[in-house]
Amino acid sequence: MTTTAEHRETTTMSSTRTLTLAKAINEGLRQSLKDDPKVLLMGEDIGPLGGVFRVTDGLQKEFGEDRVVDTPLAESGILGTAIGLALRGYRPVCEIQFDGFVFPAYNQITTQLAKLRYRSRGAVSVPVVVRIPYGGGIGAVEHHSESPEALFAHTPGLRIVTPATPQDAYTMIQEAITSPDPVIFFEPKGRYWSKGDVDLDAPVGAATLNAAQVVRAGTDVTLVAYGPTVATALKSADALAAEGRSAEVIDLRAISPIDTSTIAASVRKTGRCIVIHEAPVFFGAGAEIAARVTEECFYALEAPVLRVGGFHTPYPVAKLEHDYLPSVDRVLDAVDRAFAH
């Protein structure tokens, strides 16, 4: 069998291409299907249609209906079948069409997928990836624009990750598929069409599934974000620079487990921390980060850790979503409050 390294040495594809985030995931899935015959994709309309967002476009034609499987409209059935396949040695990658559609499969994910390895004392591995487009900004409604990551992060046994750039999307989907643990792979649908350079020969290990990344260095305040809000944090840092304040921006990448050490190192330097996510702040990921930063950096903090996120309401109608989602103005307001202490 041709190894991953041998395949990438013989490929004629240019090393770096400019891709959208959606296309980067597509390329990562294609590479995984090539590298391992036990990888297969499952989901509603992922075959000839290529999925609602065309992330799987062309893959069924290239790899066949046995590797890229159009499923019935039954999320619980998709996950239940994937768990059985994983127990037989396969590596299923399940697509959920929209974030709010995952809940019929919530029982399968949290009571079976997350617990089988622990329940078997490590004898059984269930390497299933669940791809979930999540977040707002596309003019959709509830059940199509939600951010349920905290619900899954609260369940032990699951890795919860989300890319913010095309490069990370390409690398992280491959790392998720090779992981022995089940991975919930949240894809920021509002960023699907953002473009960036992708090194198709980038090494695939486990670094991006485990480590946060400092994407902009700064000295005055730490902005922690993930997925769709990394772009918001970077725009906020630009605005703060115009005001004479230096913001360090951290892309969390993994929500579970959290790379607390990278965040803490930054906060010990800046003394202030703002956490930004689209999900409601009430019992959200930002609360966990705020608690950890307070425990690790209490004597370095110049102000309380503040959170900027969605409100404690169902996702609003499309014309109101930009009042609901974190914005640069709301981040700047939080920074002003942090400096007022």
Each residue's pLDDT tens digit in the chain (341 positions)? 444 544 444 444 568 999 999 999 999 999 999 999 999 999 999 999 999 999 999 999 999 999 999 999 999 999 999 999 999 999 999 999 999 999 999 999 999 999 999 999 999 999 999 999 999 999 998 899 999 999 999 999 999 999 999 999 999 999 999 999 999 999 999 999 999 999 999 888 766 788 999 999 999 999 999 999 999 999 999 999 999 999 999 999 999 999 999 999 999 999 999 999 999 999 999 999 999 999 999 999 999 999 999 999 999 999 999 999 999 999 999 999 999 98
Residue 316 contacts residue 324 (beta carbons within 8 Å): yes
* Cis peptide leading into residue 257 (ω within 30°): yes
Give the amino acid at 21.
Answer: L
Query: Cβ distance 172 to 161 under 8 Å?
Result: yes
Q: Is 144 a catalytic residue?
A: yes
Token pair 């919860």: residue: 160
Phi, psi dihedrals of residue 222, rounded to the nearest 5°: -100, 125
Domains in the chain: ranges and CATH: 4-207 (3.40.50.970), 213-339 (3.40.50.920)
- Round to the nearest angstrom and report the end-to-end CA distance of the chain: 62
Q: What is the pLDDT of residue 14?
A: 60
Give Cα 201 to chain centroid, integer Å: 21
Alpha-carbon span 332 to 311, nearest angstrom: 17
The whole-number pLDDT of residue 341 equals 80
- Pick the catalytic residue: 144, 154, 277, 341? 144
Distance CA(26)–CA(20), nearest Å, equals 10
Contact 276, 331 (CB under 8 A): yes
CB atoms within 10 A of CB 207: 13
Specify whether the CB–CB gap between 165 and 196 falls below 8 A: yes
- Closest residue by Cα to residue 113 from 100, 128, 102, 123: 128
Prediction pTM value: 0.93
Compute the half-sphere exposure of residue 131: CA atoms within 13 Å on the CB side of its CA: 30
Q: Which residues contact 20 (CB under 8 A, 6 or more apart)?
A: 166, 192, 193, 194, 195
